[in-house]
Structure formats: structure tokens, C-alpha cells
Amino acid sequence: LLALAASAVGERTRLRAVLLATGVFGAALFYGDAVLTPAISVLSAVEGLEIGTAAFKPYIVPLATGVLVGLFLIQKRGTGFVGLLFGPVCALWFAALAASGIWNILKTPEILAALNPLHAWTFTTAHGFGSFLVLGSVLLAVTGAEALYADMGHFGKRAIRLAWFALVAPALTLNYFGQGALLIANPKALENPFYLAFPEWALYPMVALATAGTVIASQATISGAYSITQQAIKLGYLPRMSIHHTSSKAIGQIYIPVVNWVLLAAVALAVVGFGSSSRLASAYGVAVMGTMLITTFLTFFVIYFGWRYPLWLCLLVTGFFMLMDATFLAAALHKVLEGGWFPLLLGALIYCTMFTWRQGRGALLERLRDASVPLRPFLDSLFKSPPHLVPGTAVFLNAAQDATPFALLHSIKHYNVVHERNVFLTLQFLDVPWVSFDERVQCEKLEHNCWRVLVRYGFMNRPDVGAALELCGPAGLEIDPLQASYFLSREKIILTANSNSKIKGQLSRLRQMIFVAMARNAGSATDFFNIPANRVVELGTRIQL
């Protein structure tokens, strides 16, 4: 959404900068949501054991932590496996919610009067500021919408719409009405209206089913965190990470080990640190409503500048949702000291990390560009008295099209040979979700049997160098990707006392150290770009900052 909004505003530099800052912070808040959703969901489910007997109370946090560890351990099996495992459980869970709601509604049918919105109006006008504070808890009933949006990258909108309207929304509505009916009949049930809405014999089975159901709810934000991380990498806000594609049919189903284990550590910390779902609820609302508000804000720029809808319509639609989102967020903010600081702190740390990488990488590439040798003059001088030519095709990954790859310079220096055919390949990620195959590759033939190739990807496309080279055939460049040799430069960044002025001007000393640590631990370009590992030669480049 950030990429679409930034692309829609075009060359409006200041507006684009505001959108980038806002969108990245929204993404950072979503990571806070991805930490808190599993924590509060599983912890609230396991707390049902306390309803049966207080003897379970000391074991609530350890049990919840154990369930969460198990959830994160199976992530490497893929979303398809998780869906196959939990799909029937999920259907049973929502059926139980609906049955409980219907049972309590039949016993106290006067709850159906709540369908009249005048009751909500009367409540808000009669209780004044108190009704505003209540919104801080009411918003928990609408959370999950932000995860549905993120999970479109995993499952597609059709599957989500079908599941929501056919099963989830009716079951939730019936259950909430059922809880209201229970409270009318027995106000003392306020202690835990969800579990007390079931018969006594169903308590422990429902605890087990609720735990399984909340594990599924947790899966939604975990999957969303993988998707948003993959997009952030391609948009240049995070370093390369190892990404495992877990489905041969759905390209969006991925698993990122680093994100998985960092999330697990943060979730376990939240469960142990807060200790109860009621305390976590104070932190949860700030993260969710902050994400929703920024999502609505960015949507305006997409539909107005990008899709060219009338201004009045864009303001009406987004203004309506922004008013609701802002009201809910304001109601949640009064709980900042009670726990709302946690997602804000987490979001701020991730925000700084993402901008540190983007700014540091931009300054580094600019420095490399300044120190590079122009490609065409270099090739002309090289082939006036060429070194020994060896058969085959060499593919050099090149950050800048007009620059000579450092890998080529080092290759000539160490081996004193040049391949008969040389391809200089530049990979470019655009601020759009998809780039079609027709627009994917641009080939240019240079002198001396050399080629310059530009490959464009959207942030939802999966990079595949071999597949891209096969698209060069119509332009006259016939390559067997499995027979070519791939030369990559791997930068080793050394932090010196006198930093490069350009980087020093953008990053503090601490952020420079963070950037260097991120660069050293970045994932392999070979894996990320899907290059045949047994055809790769990496040549190191030492860069001092």
C-alpha cells in the first residue's frame, strides 16, 4: 500500500517523503500487532482454565508459552500444512461460537433489541466521557481486519471474502449477541462472559478448542509478518533474508526463519512480561488502531492520485473510516502507560531499523557509483588488447547499469581472463506489485560480444535470474542459465574512525554500526535471486566507511 501510494503521488517530493515516513511506521506497528496478537489470543484462551479451578492459575503463563513455541516450530512446514491441520478445527470453533450464541439468545431473546442503533446512541450520549473510554475495550471486537488485509498476499481476496461472509462474521455476531443475552440474565457473568456462556460440562473442551482457535488467529498475523517482510526487502527497507517458498502453487506462501524466531522471542517476552490478557489488551489496541489509521490514510492517496476517483468521493469514504479509526485510537491512547508503550516502543525500534538500512544502503550505493569505472570506456580499452578469452558466458550482477562491476575488475585482476560472451545484469525492484513478463526484460547489445540486461520486478514478484535470462531470447541473447557462470560482488564493510562524509551526514555513529551489522548478516544474493548455486563465483570487495 505504501508503494502504491508513493507511486501515485509521482514527483511530489515532500508529499512522497511524508507518505514514506508514515507508511514505514505503519508497517512497523504491524510488527507490534504480529507480536501481540498471538500473545493475547493464546493467553486469553488458556485463562479459561481458571474458571474451572483457581489451582490452574500458576500454570497459565507456562502453558500459553508452550503452545506458542509449538506454533512457531511448525511454521517451517508452510501455511498450506498449517491450513490443512487447523482448517477443520477452525470450522468447529466457529460452529461452537454460533451454537453458544444461539443457545443464549433463545433463553433471553430481548437481546435482539440491540439491533436498534438507538441503544448505542443512548449509551454514548448518556455516559459522556465514560463511553469514550469504553471504546478502548470495544475496539478489540473489530481487531483482525488488519490481518485480513495483510493475508491477501497469502490467500487471495476470494478465499478471505468467502470465509468471512459465509462463516466467520455470522458466527461472531451470534456469539457477541449471546454474551449480551447472558449478561442480561446474569450480570455476575461479567467475570468471563465468553466461557460462562457455555454449559459447565463444555468448559474444558472449549478451553482446548479456544486454544486451537486462537492459534489459528495468531497464524494470520504471523503469515502477514512474512508477507510484509518480503515486500519491505524488495522495496529496500530491510536487508536480504532467507525466504523459503512453501507452496508450488501459491507464490505468496512463504516462511522466513529470521522473522519467525525473532517474533517467537518477542511474543514469549510479552506473555511473560504482561502475564495476563487484560494487561496485554491495553497494549494491543494502540498497535491495531495505529495500523488501521495509517492504512486508511494511505488509501486516500491511492484512490485519488492513482485511481483518479473524484476528490469528494475519496474524502467521504476515507474520511468516514479515518474518523472511526482516529476515535478508537484516541480511546486506546489513554492506556499508553498501562501497556500501550510496548507496541509504540517496538514500532519505533523497527522504524529506525528500516530507515537505517534504507539510508545506509542508498549512501553506500552512491559511494560505490562514485568509485566505479564507466562501463563502455572500460570495455573499449579492455578489448583493444584483451586478456585470454575462455569459452562460455559470464553473467555479472551489476548494481548500476553504467558502471563496471567490481566482480569483473577483480576477475581480470586475479585470473587475467575474459569470457567470450559477457552479460551485465541489473535487477530493479519497482514500486508496483507486479511487472508482467512482457515488460520484465530489456536487452541492449554492446560491442565485443557484450550485453547489458535490465530486469524489472514488482515487490510481489519472485526474483528468478535464470527465468529472466530465458526471456532474452527474442532480443538475440540465447543463454542456457544452467551453463552460464555468475559473478557476484560481496561487499565487506569496515567501519573506520573517519566515516564517509555522505554516510556520516545521514547516520549517527550508532546507526552506522547497526547498518554495518545488518549488511554483514544479510542473506545470500544467490538464494534470494534464485541463481544456480553451483554456477556462482563470489568476489569480495572491501569498503571502508
Each residue of 506-540: pLDDT tens digit? 677 788 888 888 888 888 888 888 888 888 888 77
In this structure, what is the dihedral angle of CA atoms 495, 501, 503, 504, given to the nearest 10 degrees? Answer: 80
Average pLDDT over residues 184-193: 89
pLDDT, residue 132, reads 83
What is the DSSP code string of 312-351?
A: HHHHHHHHHHHHHHHHHHHHHHTTIIIIIHHHHHHHHHHH
> Using CB atoms within 10 A of its CB, is residue 208 exposed (0-12), middle (13-18) or buried (19+)?
middle
Residue identified by cell 455476531 is: 173
Model pLDDT for residues 25-84, shown as the tens digit of each residue: 988 888 888 888 888 888 888 888 877 777 778 888 898 899 889 888 888 877 666 667
Kindly indicate the confidence band of residue 148, based on its pLDDT and cuts at 50, 70 and 90. confident
> Using CB atoms within 10 A of its CB, is residue 200 exposed (0-12), middle (13-18) or buried (19+)?
exposed
Kindly indicate the confidence band of residue 152, based on its pLDDT and cuts at 50, 70 and 90. confident
Average pLDDT over residues 378-399: 88
Task: Check: CB of residue 42 under 8 Å from CB of residue 283.
Answer: no
* Nearest to 133, CA basis, from 270, 356, 388, 333: 333
pLDDT, residue 458, reads 85
pLDDT, residue 504, reads 58
pLDDT, residue 322, reads 94
Task: Check: CB of residue 440 under 8 Å from CB of residue 468.
Answer: yes
pLDDT, residue 498, reads 62
Q: Which is more confidently placed, 292 or 153?
A: 292
pLDDT, residue 506, reads 67
Is 186 a residue whose pLDDT tops 90? Answer: yes
pLDDT, residue 9, reads 87
Cα distance between residue 72 and residue 416, in whole Å: 50
Helix spans in 235-256 (H): none
Greatest mean pLDDT among 99-108, 224-233, 499-508 lies in 99-108
Model pLDDT for residues 289-312, shown as the tens digit of each residue: 888 899 999 999 999 999 999 999
The mean predicted confidence, pLDDT, of the chain is 85
Task: Check: CB of residue 72 under 8 Å from CB of residue 263.
Answer: yes
**Distance between first and last Cα of the chain:** 34
pLDDT, residue 150, reads 63
pLDDT, residue 102, reads 96
Model pLDDT for residues 444-490, shown as the tens digit of each residue: 998 888 999 999 998 778 888 888 988 998 888 888 888 889 998 87
Average pLDDT over residues 273-281: 82
Is 144 a residue whose pLDDT tops 80? Answer: no
Cα distance between residue 53 and residue 137, in whole Å: 26
Task: Calculate ∠ Cα 247-427-424, nearest 5°.
Answer: 125
Is 149 a residue whose pLDDT tops 60? Answer: yes
Model pLDDT for residues 226-275, shown as the tens digit of each residue: 888 988 888 888 998 888 877 656 556 788 899 999 999 999 998 998 88
pLDDT above 90: percentage of residues in the chain? 23
Is 499 a residue whose pLDDT tops 60? Answer: no
pLDDT, residue 424, reads 93
* Nearest to 178, CA basis, from 97, 250, 79: 97
pLDDT, residue 96, reads 93
Greatest mean pLDDT among 113-122, 488-497, 500-509 lies in 113-122
pLDDT, residue 319, reads 95
Cα distance between residue 213 and residue 92, in whole Å: 9
Task: Check: CB of residue 19 under 8 Å from CB of residue 301.
Answer: yes
Strands of 385-416 (E only): list them: 388-397
Sign of the torsion formed by the C-alpha atoms of 195, 196, 197 and 201: positive
488: enclosing H helix or E strand: strand 485-494
Q: Which is more confidently placed, 107 or 248?
A: 107
83, 396, 470 from 474: Cα distances, Å:
42, 21, 9
User: How far does CA 482 lie from the centroid of its chain?
Assistant: 33
> Using CB atoms within 10 A of its CB, is residue 55 exposed (0-12), middle (13-18) or buried (19+)?
exposed
Cα distance between residue 460 and residue 432, in whole Å: 8
> Using CB atoms within 10 A of its CB, is residue 373 exposed (0-12), middle (13-18) or buried (19+)?
middle
pLDDT, residue 209, reads 87
DSSP 202: G
pLDDT, residue 303, reads 94
